[in-house]
Amino acid sequence: MIHPLSGATLNRLPDASVPAIPKYSYSSILNDAAKISWQVQDLIGDDRPLDFSKAFLPETIAHTQGISCLTSDEQLILNQIRGNSYLHLFGLVEEFILPLVVNHVQFIGCETIEATQAYLCFAQEESKHINLFRQFATAFARGFGFRCEVIGPPRTIADFVLQHSQLGVALVTLHIEWMTQRHFLDSIHSNQDEPLDRQFCSLLKHHWQEEAQHARLDTLMVQDLAQKLDDVAIESAIDDYIAIVQYLNEGLKTQVQLDIASLEIPIARTLTATETEEIRQVQEFSYQKGFLISGMTHPNFMQTVQELSPAGYARIAAIANTFSSSDG
């Protein structure tokens, strides 16, 4: 299906069973992690300012250029507001991923020391990412000049997520880490045409460099946790994953309302009800595609879920398709 907003092919879950998950090893993940050595100050700071004459997010993530009620300047401002919300949303999810990983280190102990090392490295990198997103958000606030509201506080959202089973939260984390790959590979790596802000491109690239290890560790974490559970507990974890996705979906819808309110200030006009409705429809689908569908339909996420529970896989596929068809 070609979506009219993006011009991109929507990823549909295949009907046939998907291939088996490749076997990841802690030693190869550790080796790959050791090759990455960037620091937050390498990506953002006084000598690396954001360029507010450019878009921050690729059109395949922000979906602002097709909004007919906005001028091109107003579309650019909305794109930058989306850039700011991207920083906050990722900073927010990292705040429940970090305790999940720290808990898992305690759970596995030191029996397989390479696993312990790999998860500790994962936790250290996620805390660096929280700092990365905060530093970018500070640079945004300084340069944009207008206050943009975001959902939260992150602690409240993390508390809601973390009250679910560890396997349910691990599945959400797996979804998010593979989604990060799509944000880089689909929208930056193979996209040389859009004149985007260099620092944001760098953020997406460097974040994915480390998420590539995290996604493989999440896969191992999910397999490890599931091994100790019976079928009923696994289905309950799928329930948890779905409950968290639905909760995040409601949060994204709220974020759309906040983005529209934030937009009215720098564009210095009040949007009509018709204009607001057009933006709401386009942006709700945009957030769902970028943050929910892209994770739920990532082939590696699908493989892991199908291995865990074919019935759970079918339920998640059905919800992804509901999101895919809910635009407009």
**Contacts to Fe ion by CB under 5 A:** 129, 211, 214
Bond before 153 cis per omega within 30 degrees: yes
- Select 63 or 206, whichever has its Cβ closest to Fe ion: 206
CA distances from 174 to 147, 167, 210, 218 (A): 32, 10, 14, 5
Q: How far is the CB of 126 from Fe ion (least distance, A)?
A: 5
Q: How far is the CB of 133 from Fe ion (least distance, A)?
A: 8
- Select 98 or 317, whichever has its Cβ closest to Fe ion: 98
- Select 129 or 182, whichever has its Cβ closest to Fe ion: 129
Q: How far is the CB of 139 from Fe ion (least distance, A)?
A: 18
Question: Which residues, in sequence order, are CB contacts of 79 under 8 Å at separation 6+?
Answer: 55, 56, 57, 62, 64
The owner of tokens 């050791």 is: 34
Q: How far is the CB of 54 from Fe ion (least distance, A)?
A: 24
- In the chain, the amino acid numbered 321 is N
Nearest CA to 281 out of 9, 5, 1 is that of 5
Question: Which residues, in sequence order, are CB contacts of 233 under 8 Å at separation 6+?
Answer: 165, 167
Residue 142 near residue 205, CB atoms below 8 Å: no
- Select 126 or 240, whichever has its Cβ closest to Fe ion: 126
Q: How far is the CB of 83 from Fe ion (least distance, A)?
A: 17
- Select 116 or 276, whichever has its Cβ closest to Fe ion: 116
